[in-house]
Structure 1
């Protein structure tokens, strides 16, 4: 078969994604502007011929392109070379023409999942314009854009490592392997590592030599981290109480209790966040106390065997140790959490049970126009109230309770922007998952919320996490 006929038949088998792969792997040999103008595989082959990299008696670069781009059927059918033969040939010193750096990037592209790609774009959205990170943009497109902006290069991998360190540790290992190869070249030039330019043997050798220590490390890690792999991860219940008209009418001491303007902003933020973190989110609006308990009873009896976690968010008015239903009836926080102990909900035993409570835990001292509180408006109407609750969570393992405020104090809510606590919680979880564990994130929430001021009355707020977790808890993005 003559060269033109051979190239034509190969071109017939290359769709646009495969062409994009070949163009990316050719980047060190063909200028970027030229590659951007190429619309089809025959144009690419013509350019390679012009560069002297493709001829009847020189098909080595074409073989290497098809090999690294995983077009192994074309390599075998048209060039009569097997995968094993090609891998062996590329170990010959000076034979490989595609640098390990570009092969490493392509291998990452080939392994990344759609969810990981979304996460990668998310971490770059402050550095690269939205147009360049749109739904159409592949990871290869983003790599090229990063190179153009001098954010990525053979010796400039810190940003890439930081992001994949958060998203997928196995992809980070590929970058580390490439860096080890470069370091070996610099320190031992006499070894002539050109034959390892594709990096595959290095990756293979690293996997073999480190497998036992890696397995040991992974076992140690899994013993100290809660499993978070199921999809959905679990149920996330959101109780969003806005209208307290019933409480004002039926409970005399609550006659001044206001509707919770801004709570829907919090509910929307929580819904979007936990859906993105792969939870099945269910929202319950304006429920009385008994209905809240009935729903928790239902989910106590639900089988959570296929789930890894349970989350419950309460957005309501409250007082010391309790939250209010919209009817003004009280539910002790300790009762809310007690439904899900290991003895009462066996399918959640040894799994994290997380409660976020956005409600005041005491009397408010001031009224505000721009900022309201999630408590009654007049201390005189409330009386002494119930005694302080020392234990909000059961004496049982694997619970986390995130309170918007410490006991006796109010929490603040903006009618337009939502509450200080929930908005900070959503922001920090979105920015720090999965890099940080939940307790580290809640510490940052404490820091952020405690730095805020009610400008009119100089009010402050201090959230409070309480927990019986036995392991670190991370929320992966993929």
Structure 2
């Protein structure tokens, strides 16, 4: 790092006070895990973490500029970063330029607008939902919002409780939430593909809590650094511009952020033709993985039945891609986990939203055909954005519902040593709850993993 850049960050950190640091941390929650932010108590440490996360650098100061603009430190913006209020307002009007989400901006704006008496009213109305220790007199509104998020009371797509509270004494602010929710009703793009491979599912037997982790051989080894490759095949710009996949860049950035943090060698390939998709997968299956623990592959594209489309509209069979990593075709990964996450539709049907009753009047039955075990395809997990025949959804502004949820859950649950299958189940639950253009989306997990896959978080 250059001396000038280090000096610049030092001068900015010296000018920030405690409340401003709290605001900066809150506005950065979409980019830095909450647990890491909780450990930060002074501005210098905060700026160091932003560097670690590649959010700022000597030639990349926009996120820092945006943060200072959001907390109204225009003096620092002008004196140290050569910018101004007017310049930032112009920049932030560019679609996709803002890195602080509209959701964070909304909550921060509400916190600023509430008076001390308003904050006391909010705390009083939350007494039955939050512990008293979190509602003490010195707790700021941002701290209360954070606790509401942690307890699932509010989230980006569900602000009902907060609206109900504010409606009682600040209807003007409640209208701001209404406007935010209207703005979120944007067009979601759709992608079509069907995943054809039927693979057996081997759920691991559950014993007493924590017992499985103590048993030798029940967890995949994750001790190397890097743990393995995280390969991202991300098709954004197609030969036919009408098929361009806006929002997929945000998915790629989210995956890179998470898997770099988890100590994977992360590589992204953009805009591949159909033939090149297969060649790239084949190339990575031929690499020497003996000193690695795992292989992870994300594929973001359009497709059709059983296939993924390249940007040239040429297709490649998904089974051919996965088969490159069987024990026979990739012996250096035999017995090690191979993970494929595919963001795409599996059809063109909307998944209906149905009412859920607390009980049912008749017996429940499950019909299933027995699946043949294929040992050569053991140790493979496939996460699909949706079940067969249905649509998945991608926001042009924030990325796909499925991938963004997965990345958020991994940042939250990997430090708690949750295995990947459990994390994907949490993702299924969260995505299934969302209303998307009046429809639903139900992701799918297919697995022949023989052990728990727990990603080790660097200390």
How does the TM-score come out when normalised to structure 1? 0.48
More helix by share: 1
Greater relative CO (CA pairs within 8 A, separation 6+): 2
Query: Which one has a bigger Cα radius of gyration?
Result: 1
How does the TM-score come out when normalised to structure 2? 0.50
